[in-house]
Amino acid sequence: MPRDKQIHIKVDEREAKQIAAAAAKAGKGVSEFLRDLALASSKCTRCRGSGLEPKGGRR
């Protein structure tokens, strides 16, 4: 990911564990999971749950 597109977030230990678990469930690394999540949520305002799948299916 280009440096100008990097996003830095601060999370507590509990949130970090939840993110890591969701990434493992999706079969991705944490960075890849968060990048996909950010891209998906920026394209669709109806995203639910993990944010990777819009409510009505893929868009």
The answer to the question of residue 3 being in a domain is no
Task: Report the pLDDT value the prediction gives residue 42, as an integer from 0 to 100.
Answer: 66
Give whole-number Cα distances, 25 to 5, 22, 41, 45, 51, in Å.
25, 5, 19, 23, 14
The count of structural domains within the chain is 1
The answer to the question of residue 1 being in a domain is no
The answer to the question of residue 17 being in a domain is yes
Task: Report the pLDDT value the prediction gives residue 58, as an integer from 0 to 100.
Answer: 52
The answer to the question of residue 16 being in a domain is yes
The answer to the question of residue 2 being in a domain is no
Tens of each residue's pLDDT in the chain, 59 residues: 455 567 777 889 999 999 999 999 999 999 888 888 877 766 655 555 555 555 555 55
Residue-range definition of the domain harbouring residue 46: 11-50
> Does pTM surpass 0.75?
no
The answer to the question of residue 20 being in a domain is yes
